Chain A
């Protein structure tokens, strides 16, 4: 029995996906070392221990995911979706509050974010919904997938966690686009969404979210603040980005290491173990480190796309593309935020940022891709979207 399980596990591991993912994890562990972040009682060792715990839990759960054929998971996607929605509601009612946000659930000492899990659940649910339908090819038929996406989005926005919630939109669009939804329909929705930007900004956002967007516009010189506003922004909204840019910029070609004065800038970056972990990469290893990291992510994403391309099963394809969108957009938004190309949204960098929920979900996503890639499909029908 054990031999069979081990053999199944070994067969399920798709090395072309696992290798870049493992390298990214290693990169993350190296980056977190010596960040001088104090979490609870200890220093950086604690940070490592927490991250390694997350990786261990992630690997254990990944083993389960690898052993269960992905089609079984897709078949139960709606159950997962419903359970995850319940968890999101529970978070709103009894979640742990930190810094004015209620995003965490504490289960026996293990704190996790249901919103992180929802990313994966949404990919499975959309794959389940889209795989054998063609209704999404009509404008009206797009309603259900949007509804499936907007319900958890609304709950997550309520936490509030704007970054995670906004990530659902590109996932949905990418999966619909790949499944063959008409581009003009998607473009129409984009245009409608663009029209809704101002009302949402005006009435739908919290004050701190508005200030972040204002800060970003000021950074791009689109908006000119008064002297008082500029000072206030430099102290609040632009503070993190400005500090991150200093740390990254001072890294130069190869990074500012050791006791150099330039290296000290990193220790003034808030959330340098979390949302701004890329500042640590840029500061320590400079442009070459950034190039390596972006290269690794690109390699990882292309490998996922390759797996999607080789797969014949529509659900498998959708899962791969959904996860591609998940990692691709999350990484892009985070990196762009670090270098001042996007406003601060509070998204973590997959595999690198500290956070057990994030790391567990990332590993599970990799396991899911492996699950798909390692199981050749024998279904030939209309499901190949061609």
Chain B
């Protein structure tokens, strides 16, 4: 082959290459144009999920108890903070992160970076403006020194992260690793103060030149202005990153506030709403050029509670921080009017409360425990009216049945049956009314003995269940447990159950409901939520099937209790209240669980109510522990009624 031919062959090869490339180009750009153009359009336009605002929780009067709120967090970008931008003294090379501590070499000229006389590397930029720092520190209510210390703390965090990332590396790899780690850690925004004021946000956002290291991060949080009084009812939320599928089938992430517990958790679906989508087309510089919103976000539904915020606070205040609870319900409709549990916690300090509770040696004092409808305690004497109802309906007694109380429980022949079964005093001859007024144990133990002898104990158990004990009340934040109603075939335990001792536990909400039944003859289903969005919660109540001639004498007796009975010293009669006190012993700690449960007629614009209060682990008997607290509550409940 001659030289000329070889050159010609090369020319042919070049031509072939060109033809091959052009054919491929023709296929890609002309034949497959539609496919690639579609992909290009899909790349240029993106879907951004938009959060549908979470629904508000409002009280009975429309006051906001929980809503979404934009808050500002002050953050620092460690790399831009004073002392982190380093400059090489030889070649002028600078970076916003530290070189490797060990070598300290400039990545460009490889010489050791500029050092001060004391051997420390010299930060070139002291960019934090002192005047601006003072403004920010003043707004935060801390000293400049404290503010600087907080920032330095974040710098240390970044340094630790870098040290962790380069652990085990040596030489050049360590240097490279450190640079890469600083490039990552140095540009993260680290929080130095949460929920800062608008003034701080304004200072930082409007004057970035003064403090280039500071940033403001806008965070949408769940605000609960109801505070500690509503903490147990509303429950907790958290911001969670959720992956959504775009209308094109891709995935995008969105931060949503999700309810974790109580009302926020129970009604999370309704409150959440639904995210929308914004279609965004970006221009050459990736700036948003065009947006349109084919799918609007759906606002979460609002919840309206049956509780008025003022009533809840009154109930919460009345407990004065003592471990206990107060449940107040509308006796006719079952609407919960107050559901206070103490001690409680400030919603914004939940984490701190959890830590404190974990360290505490007294877990019973945990402020995280809801005591009004999710905790169950021995009822004591407040169960006696139901023993009376069971005895009257079973026919073993009438309102006129009399029993002689001689302190100890005796049989018909006068023999003491067991010394543990006794009364607080010696009441002498009592009928049903007197027994309830003075809370005589012997009377109700005797009624129970008669029921046992007449094989009527199932009537007692059935009546307790019919009055809602051992059953859910319907309150939306209940835990799923319903207390204990266990009767073993043990004569002593069965006799004791007549006065609320033994294996019986109830919640204050259950007792309030049961007393509502006692008052009206109907057992209402309790509810906290009056309406979800525009849908009202239906009112449900079930007839108890207990004749009026049975309930009437019991009610009359309970009305006498605040007048001349065990609750007579606390001024409760002023409000027409009928109630029963109860003191359940806790012998293992030498304390009592003190109860008062009862009902009151409609008055002063208030509906007929039923209530139950428990004060736990007190040294006082029921009246002294609960009486003054209840009086304070009712005084404010009836006399401070808002217009």
Contacts and interface: CB of A to CB of B under 8 A. Distances in A.
A239 interface: no
A286 B29 CA distance: 7
B44 A305 contact: no
Contacts of A246: 36, 39-40, 43
Given A290-B25, A339-B24, A265 B44 contact: yes
A66 interface: no
A261 B36 contact: no
A91 to B, nearest CB: 15
B32 interface: yes
B26 A287 contact: yes
Contact of B281 (A180, A261, A328, A339): A261
A179 B361 CA distance: 94
Nearest to B31: A249
A268 interface: yes
A385 B3 contact: yes
B10 A249 contact: no
Contacts of B40: 246-247, 249-250, 256, 261-265
Nearest to A309: B7
B169 interface: no
Interface string A236-253: 000000000111111111
Given A252-B33, A286-B29, A262 B41 contact: yes
Contacts of B1: 183
Given A268-B43, A308-B7, A332-B21, 7 more contacts: A249-B28, A249-B33, A249-B36, A259-B284, A264-B43, A267-B284, A287-B29
A324 B33 CA distance: 33
A297 B29 contact: no
Contacts of B21: 290, 294, 332, 335-336, 339, 341
Interface of A: 34, 36, 97, 106, 174, 177-178, 180, 183, 245-253, 256, 259, 261-265, 267-268, 282, 286-287, 290-291, 294-295, 297-298, 301-302, 305, 308-309, 317, 321, 324, 328, 332, 335-336, 339-341, 384-386
Nearest to A286: B29
Contact of A36 (B4, B11, B285): B285
Given A177-B6, A178-B3, A321-B10, A249 B44 contact: no
6 contacts: A174-B10, A246-B36, A248-B28, A259-B283, A336-B24, A341-B20
A263 B37 CA distance: 9
Given A302-B14, A339-B21, A250 B3 contact: no
Contact of A282 (B18, B29, B286): B29
Contact of B14 (A248, A264, A286, A298): A298
B30 A253 contact: yes
A38 to B, nearest CB: 11
A265 B285 contact: no
B248 interface: no
Nearest to A262: B40
B41 A261 contact: yes
A7 B283 CA distance: 51
Interface string B237-251: 000000000000000
B36 A245 contact: yes
B634 to A, nearest CB: 67
B28 A339 contact: yes
Contacts of B41: 250, 261-262
Given A294-B18, A298-B18, A250 B10 contact: no
Nearest to B27: A339
Nearest to B37: A250
Given A265-B43, A268-B43, A245 B28 contact: yes
A305 B37 contact: no
Interface residues of B, number: 41
Contacts of B28: 245, 248-249, 282, 339-340
A386 B2 contact: yes
B32 A178 contact: no
A262 B39 CA distance: 8
Contacts of A297: 18
B44 A178 contact: no
A384 B3 contact: yes
Contacts of B15: 298
A301 B12 CA distance: 11
A248 B44 contact: no
Contacts of B44: 261-265
B283 to A, nearest CB: 6
A247 B41 CA distance: 10
Contact of B7 (A36, A282, A305, A340): A305
A265 B286 CA distance: 11
A282 B25 CA distance: 9
Nearest to B22: A294
B346 interface: no
B547 interface: no
Contact of B37 (A259, A262, A267): A262
Nearest to A43: B285
B626 to A, nearest CB: 65
B116 interface: no
Contacts of B176: 97
Contacts of A252: 29-30, 33, 37
Contact of B17 (A290, A332, A385): A332
A263 B36 CA distance: 11
B110 to A, nearest CB: 8
A56 to B, nearest CB: 24
B30 A287 contact: yes
B349 interface: no
B3 A386 contact: yes
Nearest to A178: B6
A233 to B, nearest CB: 17
Q: Top 6 closest A-B pairs, CB basis?
A: A249-B36, A264-B44, A250-B40, A265-B40, A261-B44, A262-B40
B45 to A, nearest CB: 6
A376 B386 CA distance: 125
A340 B27 CA distance: 12
A259 B11 contact: no
Nearest to B24: A339
A19 to B, nearest CB: 18
Given A174-B10, A297-B18, A298-B15, A248 B29 contact: yes
A301 B285 CA distance: 37
Contact of B32 (A106, A249, A291): A249
Contacts of B283: 259, 264
A92 B45 CA distance: 44
Nearest to A301: B14
Nearest to A308: B7
A25 to B, nearest CB: 20
Contacts of A298: 14-15, 18
A248 B30 CA distance: 10
Contacts of B45: 261
Which of B1, B40, B176, B283 has most chain A Cβ within 10 Å? B40
B313 to A, nearest CB: 56
Contacts of B285: 36
Contacts of B39: 246, 249-250, 265
B289 interface: yes
Nearest to B7: A309
B173 to A, nearest CB: 11
Nearest to B15: A298
B639 interface: no
